[in-house]
A and B are shown apart, each in its own frame.
Chain A
C-alpha cells in the first residue's frame, strides 16, 4: 500500500509526462529515425 502511494507521489503531472514522452521515451529510436530520414533524403537529393 505504501509502495503504491510512493509510486503515485513520484508520478509527474500531465505536461511533464507529455514532454517526457516526446523527448525521453525511446530517445534512441527517435534519433535513429531522424538520422535515417536525413541520410535517405540526402542520398535521394544528391543522386537522383
Chain B
C-alpha cells in the first residue's frame, strides 16, 4: 500500500515533471533498442532493463541491499562502456550522424511494409535470377535479411534502395559491371545495397574447393541472422548459407520454399523433405 501511496504523492506533487521523466526515459530506451537492433544485439536490451529494475528494487528500503543494488542500478553504465568497446565503429558513426542531422532520418527501420504479393514477386525474381546466373556460370552473392545489416557493411558497398527485379540482379552480377564483385543486400522486395564487402569465415571445416565468395557468404551468416544465396562461378551450383552452415545443390523449387520460409510465407512440405535429403554437412 505504501508503494502506491509513494507513487501517488510523487505524481500529485509534480505531475509535469513525472510525465517528462517518463517520456525522456522512454526516448532513451527506444534509442538504445534501435542502436542495438541495428547491430544485431537486441537481446542486450532485456539485460539492461532487468538490471535497472532489479537495481532499484534491491537498493530500496524494502530490500535494503545497498551494494548489490547500486551495482545493478548502474549496470546501464557498464552496458554503455561495453557497447563503446564492442561496437567502436558503430559508436563513432552514430556520434557523427548526431552531428550531421540530415543523415539521421535515413536510418533503416527494423520492419518493412510490403504486401505478401510483393514478397512473392521478389522471391520469384530472386529464384529466376539465381537460375539464369547458374546456367551461365555467373557468380553471385545475395544476402536476404528481414533485419538490418550493420551499417559498416552497407557503407562498404553502393546504396541502391531499388525495387528488386530479375534483370537488375543479373545486371549487378554481370562480370563487366563495376558492382559485381561483392554482395547484394536484399530486404523485403528492395535491393538496399550492392557491391558490399563481407567478413570471411575462418572455419577450417569449409571445403577447400569452395572459394572466397562461399567463405564470405558463410562468414556473414555466422555473424548475423541472414540467409545468403551463393551461385558458384566455377560450377553454377546454387548454395545457401544460414547460421554458418552451407547447404548446396538448391533447385528453383527448394530455393523458393527456403525464401518463403525466410520471409515468413507458407512453404510446401514436399520440397522441404527434398531439401533435407540433399543437405550436406
Contact = CB atoms under 8 A, between A and B. Distances in A.
A3 B124 CA distance: 14
Contact of B163 (A4, A25, A47, A48): A4
B18 A43 contact: no
Q: Size band of the B side of the interface?
A: 35 or more
- Chain A interface mostly: helix
Q: Size band of the A side of the interface?
A: 20 to 34
Contacts of B109: 25-26
Contact of B21 (A29, A41, A46): A41
Interface string B153-185: 000000000110100000000000000000000
A32 B56 contact: no
Nearest to A8: B163
Contacts of B26: 33-34, 36-38
A44 B3 CA distance: 10
A26 B34 contact: yes
A33 B32 CA distance: 9
Contacts, number: 73
B29 A26 contact: no
Nearest to B19: A41
B22 A46 contact: no
Interface string A3-37: 11001000000000000000011100110111011
B111 A40 contact: no
20 contacts: A4-B162, A4-B163, A7-B163, A24-B113, A26-B109, A29-B30, A29-B110, A33-B33, A34-B22, A36-B49, A37-B25, A37-B26, A40-B49, A40-B53, A41-B22, A44-B56, A47-B56, A47-B61, A47-B62, A48-B60
Interface of B: 3-4, 6-7, 10-11, 18, 21-23, 25-30, 33-34, 37, 49, 52-53, 56-57, 59-62, 109-111, 113, 162-163, 165
